[in-house]
Structure 1
Amino acid sequence: MKITRVEAIPFAIPYTHPLRFASGEQHVAEHVLVRVHGEDGVVGTAEAPPRPYTYGETQDSVRAVVEKVFAPQVVGLDLLDREQVHARLNRTVANPAAKAAVDMALWDALGQTLGRPVTKLLGGYTDRMRVSHMVGFDEPQKAVDVVAEFMQRYGITTYKVKVGRRPYRLDVAVVRALREHFGDTIELYVDGNRGWTASEAARALREMEDLDLTLAEELNPADDVLGRRWLVERTAIPFVADESVPGPAEVVRELLGGSATAISIKTARTGFTYSQRVHFLCESLGVENVMGNQIDGQVGTLCSVTFGAAYRGTSARAGELSNFLDMADDLLAEPLQIVDGELHVRDVPGTGVLIDEEKLTRYRTDR
């Protein structure tokens, strides 16, 4: 069960349309496929989606740190030596997506070696999750058209609306159009990606008080400490910390400091090991979780549902598990299927990631 090799393969797949939100814009998924090889021939696989405008990582930096720094440190360790693996990874600061991908690939390899699904090794609470879809910046009618299509085609009834534009009333108009068109047949919440000031966010929330929003996520900057506390005190709905909580220490800071009342867990950011720690912290404090999305491809999405389905707390709300639908193609040999608004975990050893090697050859950018 020794780790014999770790590799990082850069690939690029275009989106069918630009994804726009307050902190950035995506036209192409320039991600990194991370593989952990074991001595018995098993290969664990995960995906690192770099987000330079949020965490400072790029495709090149992820590949370099995995192959030149992390691989030499973990090769030779046992797949069960997870604490030793993370002790060595954490000698290097930051690089959350790179560390998360190594961690999840290790868990995938371990699950295959033990012949058990990773979701069972983690907790095994359920075999599926309800799906939430992200609606990016758009005009009100176009947003209505997107939701109508996804409701009809995939049965999705929960939607996260990206907000944070100036003037904020355009975003309010989008949310209002969705509520007026679909009524109470859909759940709506908003995500500002730190785009508004605290006062702008407060005004926008007042104008949306009658729209039955269930969550508000990262409406103003994470470093606006007093503004966030002021806003949370005036917000009747759960205020979700996302980019401001890249790890367990920041989760404690935000919750105990009064800057958030719910936490988004992203396996693309904290892998399985540190996502466990974040969830257990929240569970101990009676705080809700949302399974977030880092605009993952299907490999990353499969990891997200693997973790989210493992626990009652992380599966209680719809998880953000559908952004891969905005990609022109993907790498899984057996593509994910969202049916009746749900995504199932795969009842196979590991996470169930099986790569279409022809597609990987087509989309990899290192050859």
Structure 2
Amino acid sequence: MKITKLQPTVVAVPYRSEEVWAFGRRRGQISVLLEVSTDEGLVGIAEAAAYPSVDIVLAVLDSIEPLVLGADPFEIERLIRRIDLVGTWHHVRATNPAIAAVEMACWDIVGKACGQPLVNLFGGRFRDEVECFYYVARADPDEVAAEGRRAAEHGFRTCYLKVGAGDPRTDLDRLAALRDGAGEHIGIRVDANEAWAPGTAVQLIKEMQRYGLELVEQPTSGRNLAELAYVRSRVDTPILANESSWTRYDQLSVIRAGAADVLSVDNQMDGGLLNLKRSAGLCEAAGLPVVKHSLGELGVALAAAVHVIASTPNFRYANQAYGANLADDVTLGYGGGIESYSDGCVAVPTEPGIGVQLDADRVERYAELYRAEGAAFAFHDDQPRGEQAPALPKR
């Protein structure tokens, strides 16, 4: 079997409300859907987040296409090593969701050819469903409280809140509102996205601890593990590494530095599903749990990762997903909207391969939306041009 064609389609799917983080906001999810065709008629599907932009993802696909066409989709290790070394990504010391999408599509082809869901190819089911957190897009306290109530009503066990506002009192007000709305029995995870200096981080985390935090995600720079280790040594709340743990090599550095209690892992940032499994194994050897990070995803990418998570023991916390934020999806019944979840969990697909199907009508609808309004879906900030330059840390 040989790969004969790569066909990307860019879609833009709205969120229920804007996603807001420490340095900007966006109104919806832009993803690059990828179909990989073979000479035997099997087609694998995949999804790449538009990170850092659609243009870059498409350019990466163009650049690696000569290395992919003619390859055997069963020879995934060989293909990805060829992309890394011949395509020079090893020397860049980073990767891109485009590469992970090619790998994901190959796994979909392999599963379809074997008549097996991916979970069976990655070790078999360790769990029958995968827990995700409820993503509370940062907003006014009244809106945050309402989102907390919505999460509790739908059975979610963890809420995730972006912090890192210019005024720490804003974060504390939002956190208090979330606890009030969600109730006492839901875990709360906060994510500062590197916004704090170490001293600020220690002070604010200690103030926030009264709200019963489950984890604090990346309070300080992802480029300075000594800072992260310093904060970890001075607070009681467990620290989750994210921007400092994009790849397996970064995760090894975090482990050596003793900088985190939990590590975030991401197949789109580290070259594919097989590396997601490797990341989890590396952390398990260090006695650490992991959670799946997301750059934003629709049902294809969610389902693909769910297979790996379901087969891997040390995903012990709720994972990041965007389904509760999405107003719709491009698949037939997977990942888009809160109805896809049962008590905060998503089921492991049982059909061969990734196990989801694209809805052609919705793919075309959201491809047209991207063509018409794609620029409006990109990250942007609230400041008039030239009035305030963003900086790290914010405080």
Mean CA deviation greater in 178-187 or 99-108: 178-187
CA distance, structure 1, for counterparts of residue 252 and residue 334 of structure 2: 37
How do 1:253-264 and structure 2 match up within 5 A?
253-264=253-264
- Cα gap change, 1:359 to 1:98, in 2 (>3 Å): same
Q: Which runs of 5+ in 1 are unaligned?
A: 52-56
- Corresponding residue for residue 280 of structure 1: 281
How do 1:3-14 and structure 2 match up within 5 A?
3-14=3-14
Deviation at 1:181, TM superposition (A): 4.5
Whether 1:353 and 2:347 are equivalent positions in the alignment is no
Q: State the one-letter code of the partner of 2:176.
A: R
CA distance, structure 1, for counterparts of residue 11 and residue 334 of structure 2: 17
Q: Percent identity?
A: 28
Is the contact made by 1:34 and 1:101 (CA closer than 8 Å) also made in structure 2? yes
- Corresponding residue for residue 58 of structure 2: 63
CA distance, structure 2, for counterparts of residue 21 and residue 312 of structure 1: 30
Mean CA deviation greater in 206-215 or 88-97: 88-97
The alignment yields a C-alpha RMSD, in angstroms, of: 1.9
Whether 1:247 and 2:247 are equivalent positions in the alignment is yes
| Alignment TM-score, normalising by the size of structure 2 | 0.85
Whether 1:324 and 2:323 are equivalent positions in the alignment is yes
- Cα gap change, 1:29 to 1:179, in 2 (>3 Å): closer
Q: State the one-letter code of the partner of 2:22.
A: A
Deviation at 1:328, TM superposition (A): 2.9
Q: Tell me, what secondary structure is at the counterpart of 2:148?
A: helix
CA distance, structure 2, for counterparts of residue 220 and residue 106 of structure 1: 37
Deviation at 1:14, TM superposition (A): 2.5
Q: Which runs of 5+ in 2 are unaligned?
A: 373-395
Q: Deviations over 1:222-273 (max 9, x none)?
A: 1234322211211323211112222110101112123323111223323201
Is the contact made by 1:12 and 1:30 (CA closer than 8 Å) also made in structure 2? yes
- Corresponding residue for residue 333 of structure 2: 334
Q: State the one-letter code of the partner of 1:70.
A: I
CA distance, structure 2, for counterparts of residue 177 and residue 187 of structure 1: 14
Q: Tell me, what secondary structure is at the counterpart of 1:313?
A: coil
- Cα gap change, 1:88 to 1:179, in 2 (>3 Å): same
- Corresponding residue for residue 87 of structure 1: 81
Is the contact made by 2:4 and 2:37 (CA closer than 8 Å) also made in structure 1? yes
Whether 1:25 and 2:25 are equivalent positions in the alignment is yes
Q: State the one-letter code of the partner of 2:325.
A: D
Is the contact made by 1:134 and 1:161 (CA closer than 8 Å) also made in structure 2? yes
Mean CA deviation greater in 194-203 or 264-273: 264-273
Q: Deviations over 1:14-54 (max 9, x none)?
A: 22321101143212322201222222211111111123xxx
CA distance, structure 1, for counterparts of residue 314 and residue 229 of structure 2: 25
Deviation at 1:112, TM superposition (A): 0.7
Is the contact made by 2:145 and 2:180 (CA closer than 8 Å) also made in structure 1? no
How do 1:110-121 and structure 2 match up within 5 A?
110-121=110-121
Q: State the one-letter code of the partner of 2:136.
A: V
How many pairs are equivalent? 358
Q: Deviations over 1:127-174 (max 9, x none)?
A: 21122111122222211101212322x321211111111222221222
Deviation at 1:366, TM superposition (A): 6.5
CA distance, structure 2, for counterparts of residue 38 and residue 141 of structure 1: 52
- Corresponding residue for residue 295 of structure 1: 296
